[in-house]
Amino acid sequence: MEWDWSYTGDIIPDLLRGLRYTVIATLLGYLIAVVLGLVWALLRRTPNVVVRQVVRWVTEFIRCTPLIPQLFFAFYVLPTWGLTFGKLTVGVLMLGIHYSTYMAEVYRAGIADVPRGQWEAAKALNLPRTRVWLDVVLPQAVRKVIPTLGNYLIAMFKDSPLLLAIGVPELLTSARSVGARTFEYLEPMTMVGVLFIVVSVISSILLRRLERHYATN
């Protein structure tokens, strides 16, 4: 099997189209995960025991089951209940929801890490509950977990090919259909790896920069 450079050049546009879906799905999913994760973490600290326990078990369940059956569930089962979404929407939502349960744990640890003295000083100043969270606890908690949250971006990126299972035309899907057309899989699959590495490395560099920015400020 010989590496064919001109064939490689020909398939690049197809692959880049796939990569665009991969990146979009990852970024949108990440946005959902970052926000929803914080919501879970906060709900797990509400005074209401029922809310706390429900959130705890639901997130635990999502976190401890694989993403693929969750994707299939949303894609095949929800429509039978009258809830129909496009492939990409389902993919983005489920990727985001799945990872939000991991992020929730990250936020939870960050919040737990804020020293007791901070809560007590806030109480001694008589700050109302929302101000304690918004001005004192969350800024400290979030800052501490930014590196971990950043690593999840890359983790999600690497998991995004799972969206292939429901037919989102992401990178791996494009590579496979190119291969199926030409019966040449070496170049497309290799290029999938190369593109993943390139994007991952670039994101890591950007993330590390962001981290440094927050570490010094």
Partner 1 sequence: MPPTDTTPEKDAAPLRGSAPGIRFEKVIKRFGSNTVLRELDFTVAPGERVTLIGPSGSGKTTILRLLMTLEKPDGGLIFVGDDPLWHMDRGGKRVPANQKHLHEMRKRIGMVFQQFNLFPNMNVLRNLTEGPMRVLGVPRDEAVERAKGLLDLVGLADKIDAHPSQLSGGQQQRVAIARALAMEPQVLLLDEVTSALDPELVVGVQDLLRDIARQSDLTLLCVTHEMTFAKDISDRVLMFDQGQIVEEGPPERMFGEPSEQRTRDFLQAVLAT
Minimum Å distance from CB 212 to partner 1?
A: 17
CA neighbours within 13 Å on the CB side: how many for 140?
A: 14
The separation between the first and the last C-alpha atoms of the chain, rounded to the nearest angstrom, is 54
Segment interacting with partner 1 (CB under 8 A) among 49-57, 125-133, 159-167, 192-200 = 125-133
Q: Which is nearer to partner 1, 127 or 207 (CB)?
A: 127
Residue 206 touches partner 1, criterion: CB under 8 A: no
- Does position 66 bind partner 1 by CB under 8 A? no
What is the SS3 assignment for 3-14?
CCHHHHHHHHHH
Amino acid at 186: L
Lookup result for tokens 């993919």? 91
Q: Does 8 contact partner 1 by CB under 8 A?
A: no
117 contacts partner 1 (rule: CB under 8 A): yes
Stretch that binds partner 1, among 20-28, 38-46, 89-97, 115-123 (CB under 8 A): 115-123
Residues near partner 1, by CB under 8 A: 115, 117-118, 120-128, 131, 135-136, 139-140, 143
